[in-house]
Structure 1
């Protein structure tokens, strides 16, 4: 079997542009974990993300529509025992609020409390005063937990820390993940964690660990960042989990999964490895046979990572009872999606069919326009012929009339054209001179400088970072950021200083 994880940076765009088709055909996964789906509840029916040949679990952002979100898809033959949204255990299944008559219904909790229900994976941990912040994280759609017969799968999207507040959320999330894993392992469960961790484990996993090449030096050393320390405590040789990719490829360098799309860093492979698949050592040794990065699949600023494994799910047998008792968190229970499920094959071909239908419609309209134009021309031509036939003009009279008209026009041209031509020449010469003067004026003011490293025209950019230079324009090398001759050189010039250099 194959499990794939991928931060898609918008699942709707991935389906619409056809990248989802390439991903399915090239990887052929049995379990898919998506991060940053950015799908809202009202668009689920529109894009028919829920399929009838896959079991689907979606955690959508409830505080900001179209933000964050994770989704776990698994084929129907995979038995499912339980499924849970969020890492805290505070959130009830979202579909339960739509139908309170279900036997497993649990009322929304006014105050967050740890309480296991019949549909939750369980193995929760006690928390103190951070319950409100954890609940806010779970409302953003950052974690789905699914329990299979042989392991418990975490699909996570760790917050990105850009300031002190987001750093606190990120650290709290990783801390909660560590506690939840520890509880499951103590209960005798195998654990697999996959997703976007927004953190590179080691220097080998980062193109510029010290920030020297990007001229953004770190405030503290790379190895001493708190979130990185916590992540390495989870999956170091002394920790409970194994970084599966490094287990199979311990010495591979330049193996990245995320690149800056704004700087075109993927062309020069100037990126980071922040998408991981972690598993406990017993499961890695007994079940996982391979793990790799699929860097040639596009559609996002991340690329997929997969593992191949074998377990009891690989042998078809007594699974019917499990499949019939799907957890209530499964999207097939959502009342607003009943009857709208389609097969994955239909979903993959949806965007292609839409493109073909639009192309055919444009061609049909173009053909109708051409036929209409031809018919109009033919009618005009027939009218002219009818009018000529009504006048009974002979060929001889027509030739005589044409010659007379040409002689008269030549005589008129001799008398009139010289004056007109002279005035036209004067007018054109003045116009051309003014046009040339304006072109030279703006060309001198809009000259794009050449970079010092490659002698190529530079790219004009704007400072978007908060500070004293916010909004200022500057020139940099137009090549994508990266190391070596193919990467961007160190040329920099403020836009205001381009004429004084």
Structure 2
């Protein structure tokens, strides 16, 4: 059995689907975090993957935030599955249970901890030395403690306590437990790229929680064994921790083994990161069934890298998927009704024939209803030219022709609002001369008289004057003969001052290379200010290939 965890930083980044990624791991269970997808945005090719069954937890408060998902091969289908840690999101019946003592948290706090979509639990069966055994896999994405939001620090600690409470309760019920995912805390100084740069490293509340949640030998607690070999004997610490960091169990002394790097500073190039993605397990499972654990820094596509664990046991497949599986979602099995079915009902033909007697609410009369439902040729108004016999013959031959143009009645119809209005063109002097020869007339071949032309010209002049006055009010000029005062004058200097472009980057002192321009985005007195720093990726101060400490503010107006 192989299990993998990976913070993918957005499941929709896999534009060609996630199946290719899942197959590349060749694992029975793949747990991903930070999917950043809500249920309404989950598409079928992501939810229903051939050869796998999936289980999602979505954020219910924010879109494009948090979220976890567990993909199991069909040969490793779980017997039970559940969303969340509290049990408040589970349906009655097919649940894992074992919620532990949650009296320290109110119902509102419990619901808030689960509403961000941070946990999915699946329970499996395998054959061990003692016969059929249970294995519960808890896929978690622990909150990040925002330094600017003190309430999030307490939220993170509450989540840690809830996770420990649930995991220990499931372990006490007789099931083996694996907790894996993004824990968002580096445990030991060996797990951090620069622990000296972190204030009060050992006093961090998250690290204190890990100290009492995990247990390990004294010789392996900080500096690791003499060689990078699995620890032979683990004893529980005085705090009573029941779980093991499986990576440190197999690699107690390996340094620079990081799983997360800053993409903004390019820190992955210099391996300037932290190890915050873990696979925890109860001691007996690690000692008996775990074969190996390692990280995969060569896998790109996220600011995290995957972590895998290999076990010597073989999972048994459930004959059916649990109810929370995505295969049972109504939108993916054809049971969900279309929204349009709840908005209107298609009218029947027999109802249309009776519409002349009844009118719909509003300003539509019976004639307009017929026209909107089924536009047909209306009766021709008096005074319009009668069609010829030839036109009548053509009309009978083409019964499926489009609606002919009709003159609007006094009230008008709804279709009249969508027809473009025809504008009359002002006649030219040639037409004026032609009209004088033929004289005024009526009908379709009538000419324009000089008096009518003069009136139209007067109206045109009034419109031009009105337009000019309007342009003057708006501060613009529509005249073709614009003054050339702005050419190479004060206007040129104004636009140069506004559109001067970015300032010339200076050279950093250590590498003598052009710097890169940055902008302060953190709230405070320097918000929006620009500055120059070394263009190389972030790294340890002892690394000559890393960024130097050059820094320079950009002066205002430059």
Give secondary structure in 2 for the equivalent of 1:456: coil
Q: Check if 1:32 corresponds to 2:30.
A: yes
Shift of residue 25, structure 1, vs aligned partner: 4.9
- Structure 1's 46 and 74: CA in aligned 2 closer, same or farther, altered over 3 A? closer
Correspondence for 2:89: 91
Match of 1:199 among 175, 182, 185: 185
Match of 1:274 among 273, 276, 296: 276
TM-score, normalised relative to structure 1: 0.69
For structure 2, the 5+ residue unaligned runs are 126-133, 217-236, 336-487
TM-score, normalised relative to structure 2: 0.62
Distance 2:535 2:19 in 1: 32
Give secondary structure in 2 for the equivalent of 1:289: strand
- Structure 1's 192 and 335: CA in aligned 2 closer, same or farther, altered over 3 A? same
Q: Note the 1:130-279 alignment, pairs <5 A.
A: 130-149=106-125, 150-162=134-146, 163-211=149-197, 218=199, 221-237=200-216, 238=237, 239-279=241-281
Give secondary structure in 2 for the equivalent of 1:267: helix
Correspondence for 1:375: none
Distance 2:264 2:244 in 1: 33
- CA distances 1:379-409 after superposition (whole Å, capped 9, x unpaired): xxxxxxxxxxxxxxxxxxxxxxxxxxxxxxx
Shift of residue 445, structure 1, vs aligned partner: 8.7
Distance 2:138 2:123 in 1: 9
Correspondence for 1:307: 309
- Let me know the Cα RMSD of the aligned residues: 2.6
Give secondary structure in 1 for the equivalent of 2:76: coil
Distance 1:262 1:54 in 2: 34
- Structure 1's 53 and 492: CA in aligned 2 closer, same or farther, altered over 3 A? same
Shift of residue 140, structure 1, vs aligned partner: 1.0
Question: Which is helix-richer, 1 or 2?
Answer: 1
- Structure 1's 17 and 332: CA in aligned 2 closer, same or farther, altered over 3 A? closer
Shift of residue 53, structure 1, vs aligned partner: 1.9
Distance 1:195 1:272 in 2: 14
- Structure 1's 64 and 443: CA in aligned 2 closer, same or farther, altered over 3 A? closer
Shift of residue 339, structure 1, vs aligned partner: 6.2
Distance 1:296 1:192 in 2: 24
Distance 2:530 2:280 in 1: 43
- Structure 1's 24 and 120: CA in aligned 2 closer, same or farther, altered over 3 A? closer
Match of 1:69 among 67, 70, 93: 67
For structure 1, the 5+ residue unaligned runs are 94-105, 107-117, 212-216, 341-430
Moved over 4 A (4+): 442-445
**Contact 1:76–1:323 (CA under 8 A) maintained in structure 2:** no
Distance 1:271 1:452 in 2: 25
Shift of residue 47, structure 1, vs aligned partner: 3.8
**Contact 1:254–1:269 (CA under 8 A) maintained in structure 2:** yes
**Contact 2:47–2:326 (CA under 8 A) maintained in structure 1:** no
Give secondary structure in 2 for the equivalent of 1:77: helix
Q: Note the 1:35-54 alignment, pairs <5 A.
A: 35-54=33-52
Match of 1:323 among 290, 311, 319: 319
Distance 2:3 2:67 in 1: 19
Which of 152-161 and 328-337 deviates more? 328-337
Greater relative CO, 1 or 2 (CA 8 Å, sep 6+): 1
